[in-house]
Amino acid sequence: MKQQWRMFMLGWAIILIGSLIAHFVQTSGGITIKDVRFNGANGNIISAYLYIPPGVNADSPAPGILAVHGYINSREVQSGFAIEFARRGYVVLSMDQAGHGYSDAPAFAAGFGGPAGLSYLRSLDIVDKDNIGLEGHSMGGWTILAAAAAYPDDYKSMVLEGSSVGGGRSAPGTAQWPRNVAVVFSQYDEFAASMWQVPKGSDVGNSENLKTLFDSSTPVIEGQLYGDIASGTARILHSPPVTHPGDHISHAAIGHALDWFERTLEGGTELATDDQIWFGKEIGTLLALIGFVVLTCGSFNALLAMPAFSSLHKVPEQFAYEHRSPRWWLTLALSALIPVLSFYPLMRWGGQLLGVSAILPQSISSQVAFWGVMNGIIFMLIGKVIKAQEVTFQTKLLPTIGLSLAVIAIAYSSVLLADFFFQIDFRFWFVGIKAMNLMQFRIMLVYLIPFTAFFLLALRALHAGLSVRGDSTWQVYASNIGALMGGFLLFLVAQYGSLFLSGFLLTPNEPLNTIVMIQFVPLLTIVGIFTSYTYSRTASYVPGALICGLFVSWYVVAGQATQFPVN
């Protein structure tokens, strides 16, 4: 095998190994997973995974659970819960909320899609209609509350994971409604103030809203059963020691949900609460994600050796610095810190200026794009003020565009194949690379413009302002990755250090954008790998900028909520 094909084949091998691990975990014991679609309100299509335990059929129905993810997530994020529910004999419908994943836009419409999800679950002849549970994380909690309000007699119990009742998002909770509720609200949940109107997650027992739900005049005691299961008034509170998004990868949070449904639903398979295997799937999809990065670089290397693109091959000969100087360190510090310091204000301003429309239908995507373009301009200005040795770049636009499109096409095909054969995407936690549907592809083409502009500006500044002659491969990658995501990593360490030590974020009014920021660390690490790899083989920032523009536009759009319907 020629040298240029080795990384290409290695990437496919890692993807295959990771996909097989994930597949065997999620189908453990004979579980069948079906990708289903059903009609929601106004004819909108809702997508879901249906997990069917072995031996379940119309003659032998099983309890059912509707499981729903939170805002700007998708059905795959709930897989830890869904796998463990299915292992215990429950039929699980893990749905994409309206406007999320592959469900039709707009987001937030028709009870977030919750009533349609419960109605579809009850329509299945393999489901015991007298034993249906509801589980939802964050905004997914409001989704199942909407289902419970629409069909108050069609479920038996529910688990609110990092979610709440009332507050304009659902009907207020009472001693009688909803039926049999477990509230799992983590000690370090970033949304304590907005969810339960308490300063920090560990204070949730003092919430007046929660006390009303529990029919208690005194603070709610964690782990104590309130009310009565048989009459539908049972309530219980659990506070695992994790964060809001940490519920998805917490054995404790998942275990509390398992325990509650075991206590409140009849049927299923008895299995110890601490017998959980879902994390094996996280390892598998993480391996597949790593393989995706290797495959992308390997595809670039293999294609670059072909006659159509071989003219782009060039080893860098010019460098911004002969050695690291104080000016180099200043440039690195500014490159790392300015993006994170500008993050919150630019995200807010982007949301206020751009809003949502048929052209820009995803609010978070628009905010991130606005942040990117503004930072690209800032990086360009820094390069003009803090001058290094001049570095020139070769630009052969047509073959560069062709090469970039071919690389992304190969990378995208790997995601499609994994979805088709194994029903997985490439992810760890809530950082996932998903295939797009047709609507998302059209949306991506719009956001591709600002994201590509950002990478053209930012990566030109990176290589023209921080390259050092004589650096080893590891020094190059470390410098570039540090400049791109180092500031975010340091800030998040400080943010969550504060949260774990005091119970409060450093920016307590920015819980959502702080969680959004977490994705910037792995995403910009991947960008750093792509741009370092491509630059070392072409002496140009343009191939990396085009590849990163395509990849990040795809990643962001596929993973975000669509608030405006796009035909």
Query: Is the separation of the CB atoms in 101 and 45 below 8 Å?
Result: no
Answer yes or no: is pLDDT of 167 > 60.
yes
When pLDDT is averaged across residues 327-342 and rounded to a whole number, the result is 96
Report the pLDDT value the prediction gives residue 506, as an integer from 0 to 100. 97
Angstrom CA distances, 182 to 154, 179, 242, 346, stand at 17, 10, 17, 38
- Measure the CA–CA gap between 439 and 251, rounded to whole angstroms: 36
pLDDT bucket at 499, cuts 50 / 70 / 90: very high
Closest by CA position to 418, among listed 441, 438, 436, 435:
435
Question: DSSP alpha helices (H): ranges in 59-134?
Answer: 79-87, 114-123
- b/e per residue, 219-237, with b = 16+ CB within 10 A? ebebeeebbebeebbbbbb
Q: Are 195 and 70 in contact (CB under 8 A)?
A: no
Q: What percent of the chain has pLDDT over 70?
A: 100
Cα 12 to Cα 291: distance, rounded to the nearest angstrom: 7
How far is residue 396's CA from residue 311's CA, in Å, rounded to a whole number? Answer: 9
| Strand (E) or helix (H) holding 253 | helix 251-264
Query: What mean pLDDT comes out for the span 213-221?
Result: 98
Half-sphere exposure of residue 80, counting CA atoms within 13 Å on the CB side? 28
Lowest mean pLDDT among 36-45, 46-55, 62-71, 225-234: 36-45
Strand locations in 212-301 (E): 235-238
Render pLDDT for 453-481 as a digit per residue (tens, 0 to 9). 999 999 999 999 999 999 999 999 999 99
Looking only at Cα atoms, what is the longest distance across the chain?
Answer: 77
Q: Identify whether the C-beta of residue 273 lies closer than 8 Å to the C-beta of residue 260.
A: no
Residue 254 and residue 276 in contact, taking contact as beta carbons nearer than 8 Å: yes
> What's the one-letter identity of residue 535?
Y
Residue from 434, 383, 444, 382 nearest 412 by CA: 434
At 352 the pLDDT is 96
- As a residue count, the chain comes to 567
Three-class secondary structure of residue 427 per DSSP = strand
> Which burial class, exposed, middle or buried, applies to 135 when counting CB atoms under 10 A from its CB (0-12, 13-18, 19+)?
buried
Q: How confident is the model at residue 394 (pLDDT cuts 50, 70, 90)?
A: confident
CATH 3.40.50.1820 residue ranges for the chain: 55-267
pLDDT at residue number 168: 87
Q: What is the C-alpha separation between 73 and 137, in angstroms, rounded?
A: 10
- The pairing of strands 431-433 and 426-428 is antiparallel
Q: Say if CB 460 and CB 548 are below 8 A apart.
A: no
In angstroms, how far is the first alpha carbon of the chain from the final one?
Answer: 47
- Check pLDDT > 70 for residue 30: yes
- Element housing 94 (H / E): strand 91-95
Whole-number average pLDDT of the chain: 96
Where helices occur in 428-564 by DSSP H, the ranges are 438-466, 473-502, 511-518, 520-538, 542-559
Name the superfamily (CATH) of residues 55-267.
Alpha/Beta hydrolase fold, catalytic domain (3.40.50.1820)
Contact (CB, 8 A) for 517 and 524: no
CA distances from 469 to 459, 460, 472, 473 (A): 18, 17, 9, 11
User: What pLDDT is attached to residue 395?
Assistant: 85
Instruction: Give the integer Cα–Cα distance in Å for 439 and 385.
Output: 42
Q: Which residues of 386-404 are buried (b: 16+ CB within 10 A; e: fewer)?
A: eebeebebeeeeeebeebb
Whether pTM > 0.85 for this model: the answer is: yes
Q: Determine the pLDDT at residue 191.
A: 98
What phi, psi does 104 have (nearest 5°)? -65, 145
Q: DSSP assignment, residue 361?
A: -
Tell me how far apart the alpha carbons of residues 195 and 184 are, in angstroms, rounded to a whole number: 12
Residue 3 has pLDDT above 90, yes or no: no
Q: Cβ(528)–Cβ(386) under 8 Å?
A: no
Classify 64 as helix, strand or coil. strand
Q: What is the pLDDT of residue 565?
A: 83
User: What is the predicted pLDDT for the residue at 2?
Assistant: 75
Mean pLDDT of 62-85: 98
* Residues 93 and 121 sit within 8 Å (Cβ to Cβ): yes
Hey, what's the torsion of the CAs at 479, 482, 483, 484, to 10 degrees?
130
SS (HEC) of 159-170: EEECCCCCCCCC
Give me the percent of the chain exceeding a pLDDT of 90: 96
Amino acid 516: pLDDT: 97
Q: Looking at residue 141, what is its pLDDT?
A: 98
Q: Is 180 helix (H, G, I), strand (E, B) or coil?
A: coil
Please give the structure tokens belonging to residue 174.
Answer: 């009472």
Distance CA 439, CA 566 (A): 7
What is the predicted pLDDT for the residue at 528? 98
- pLDDT value of position 387: 86
pLDDT at 57 over 90: yes
Residue at 518: amino acid letter: I
What average pLDDT score do residues 369-387 get? 92
Cα atoms in the 13 Å half-sphere on the side-chain side of 53 = 23
Q: For residue 566, is pLDDT > 80?
A: no
Burial class (CB in 10 A: 0-12, 13-18, 19+), 270: exposed
